Amino acid sequence: MPNRTTLKDVAREAGVHISTASRALNPSTAAIVNPETVQRVTDAAKKLGYRPHPLARGLRTNRTMSVGVIIPDVENPLFGPIIAGIESVLVEEGYSVLIGNADRGPNHADSLLEEMLERHVDGLILATPSREVSAAAKEARDTVSIVLVNRSVDDQSIPAIVGDDHAGIGLAVRHLRELGHTRIGHVAGPSWVSTGAGRRQAFLEWMSNVGLDSSEDLIEEAEWYQVEPGNTAAINLLSRHPDLTAIVAANDLLGLGCYRAARSLGKVIGVEISITGYNDMPLLDLMQPPMTAVRVPYRKMGADAATTLLAMISGEEVPGGPVHLAPTLAIRASTAPPPSNQH
Amino acid sequence: MPNRTTLKDVAREAGVHISTASRALNPSTAAIVNPETVQRVTDAAKKLGYRPHPLARGLRTNRTMSVGVIIPDVENPLFGPIIAGIESVLVEEGYSVLIGNADRGPNHADSLLEEMLERHVDGLILATPSREVSAAAKEARDTVSIVLVNRSVDDQSIPAIVGDDHAGIGLAVRHLRELGHTRIGHVAGPSWVSTGAGRRQAFLEWMSNVGLDSSEDLIEEAEWYQVEPGNTAAINLLSRHPDLTAIVAANDLLGLGCYRAARSLGKVIGVEISITGYNDMPLLDLMQPPMTAVRVPYRKMGADAATTLLAMISGEEVPGGPVHLAPTLAIRASTAPPPSNQH
DNA sequence: CAACACCACGCAATCGTTTGTATTATCGAA
DNA sequence: TTCGATAATACAAACGATTGCGTGGTGTTG
């Protein structure tokens, strides 16, 4: 079994007191003790296969070397890369990742947060979607470091790592504009979700930026980020504006809903109508036709959140508010120049 | 900040010694102490908002109320439901879930395992793919309880929760047989992965079960569970047997590879050739055509793994070896009766 | 040669629990 | 009344590490 050898054993083996052994093994205090003894202790530790007991250490130092990560829905493939990014940097620094899946209602996230605080995590990374920070999180903030990922919060005091939705929508709109589209619509996400509201706003701004008509009328809001709501929203939009040659969807699934709507209206995607997605989730390149989509660097997003969290934990002053990560555009077959002959 | 009130505070508030407070709060020892004092202590604890310090408790009891979960690739959407299932039952019992992502080579899983052992997790759930149990895991086995999920191991001594691949392949083969197919091929996964070998074997058995030619020649092994290897394997298979009317893929991604191969050969999927996937990953129903696939109950798989792990932790005798979960078949448009006119 | 600085190390308290054992009080029975 | 049993609680030692402080020894300096 592991970890049966304690610091006391190492001390005995090296012929020193347990406290000297502790200091010798701890890099920050090793300078106090004679280099020769440090060597002896280190050798003894290696020989006995000593590993410090994290609980005992944590009890004394009030640090558990663990951080909690709360995800709104682990089954959503979007969060895989985020988790991977977080995990990769934290494990490297010796931290463990506690995961919480807040898929049982809005207050579930708070109870998970409470439990993680009880466990004395050294930090928290929250990916829960709501735009306002909960009371529990507020209370937690003066206890542990908190970083948000993939969502910002109206209260700009908490550091957040988010995708740059404004730039992302810009990539899509400019791409379509450069292809020659002039009549572009937007299927928006629900406006109570931060991404829904933000991308909608960005769409309007970019439309006028590229010199096109920027009207609320070109936007139809889907009830939820799913295929079917996207479908109905797109049908509404296209019945209002049958002359649209392109749709910017606020989300990949909404984009797939647009696919369905276009098909049901007899339009050939990537020829008669262009559609862009957002997020570039896995398998999107395997759709028919493969979907052009704004790609958000989710893995990097997780990794950056973890590194800023580590900075906060080690006492550095970290500016609050969102940090925007630049998206890219994965251009595929769902976008093409508009039909040349306009009737 | 939370948890600032310690047991000592509660004891003082209730006017008893700290040890009596401890016993009063602990259900298994509460019988020893006067019911009236139990009440007093409980009230005091509630009033002060007392929460036991998990580290101190764990240090004394050698239980951390945490379990480690090692996943081969968190970014694979397959593992989302498994994690969700695990988390849902463990959190309910007061356990925390430590997640490890073993995406940096084969020995990475072992180092994660080591670290989790150092953290004194009470149990481990492993989803790493290899068919043999590593030395590290073997050594770990007499320290903590271990359950495997989504993979079995040649050494049948460790409990494992897996999908019933034999039944699943049976669903696919019988479905195709009932549609009228007689010339069915198999694109297999790598044989060093347990699922690859198992599904391949199951395919052969079911082929003869339904009275069809069961030959190794009808199988082509893909190098890895990805689209492109599936594509090349399918091309090889179809060039060897141009008369095949159906392919059973060992995996959804391999199935999508078959899609690609069929298209490049000019065959219409769901008409001239039928293709089945395996796993039924998200978005598979949105492919063109939507793919018929064997659906594995991954969330239940995770939940069952967690419950058997809890049983082992609480000292129950759990039989080793795999427990098979029954799959279902999601029938979609990629399968249809074979072309009636055979030339 | 004395005084002092300082380096290396040991001592012991501490983190917050749990738990074996000792102590006190209470009661019934002889 | 006295003794033993029993119940209820207090005492104290762990669990394994960290860390302020005290102390012995060595070297330097006036």
Sign (positive or negative) of CA dihedral B57, B62, B65, B69: positive
Q: If we measure between CA atoms, which residue out of B108, B104, B85, B270 comes closest to residue B163?
A: B85
Q: Which nucleotides of D are covered by protein (CB under 7 A)?
A: 7-12, 14-20
Distance B7 CA to C25 C1' (A): 26
For position B130, what pLDDT does the model report?
66
Lowest mean pLDDT segment, chosen from A84-88, A192-196, B187-191: A192-196
**Chain A residues with CB-CB distance to B76 below 8 A:** 80
Which has the closest alpha carbon to A200: A161, A236, A254, A273?
A254
**What local confidence, expressed as pLDDT, does residue A338 receive?**
95
d(CA B234, CA A44): 58
Does the CB of A59 sit below 7 A from strand C?
A: yes
B22-to-A106, B2, B11, B59, B93 alpha-carbon distances in Å: 34, 19, 8, 15, 21
Residue B297's region, left for phi above 0, alpha for psi from -120 to 50, else beta, is beta
CB A87 within 8 A of CB B101: yes
pLDDT of residue B232: 97
A52 vs A193, more confident: A52
Q: What is the pLDDT of residues A256-311, one digit of tens each?
A: 999 999 999 999 999 999 999 999 988 888 888 999 999 999 999 999 999 999 99
Residue A246 has a CB neighbour count (10 Å cut-off) of: 25
Helix B18-25 and helix B35-48, axial crossing angle in degrees, nearest 10: 90
Distance from CA of A105 to the nearest CA of B (A): 13
Asked whether residue B197, judged by its CB, lies under 7 Å from any atom of the DNA or RNA strand D, the reply is no
Q: Which residues in chain B have their CB less than 8 angstroms from residue A119's CB?
A: 54, 96
The whole-number Å distance from B18's CA to C28's C1' is: 31
Of A142-146, B263-267, B336-340, give the lowest mean pLDDT range.
Answer: A142-146
pLDDT, residue A157, reads 83
CB-based contact A75 B79, cutoff 8 Å: no
Q: Tell me if chain B has a CB within 8 Å of the CB of A93.
A: no
Predicted confidence (pLDDT) per residue in B8-20, tens digit:
999 999 999 999 9
A32 strand D contact, CB < 7 Å = no
Which residue among A76, A87, A120 sits closest to B99, beta carbon to beta carbon? A87
Contact A80 B80 (CB under 8 A): yes
| Count of Cβ atoms closer than 10 Å to residue A194 Cβ | 23
Q: Is the pLDDT of residue B58 over 90?
A: yes
Nearest CA-CA distance, residue A34 and chain B, Å: 29
Q: Is the model's pLDDT at A341 over the cut of 50?
A: no
Assessment of whether the complete model's pTM goes beyond 0.85: yes
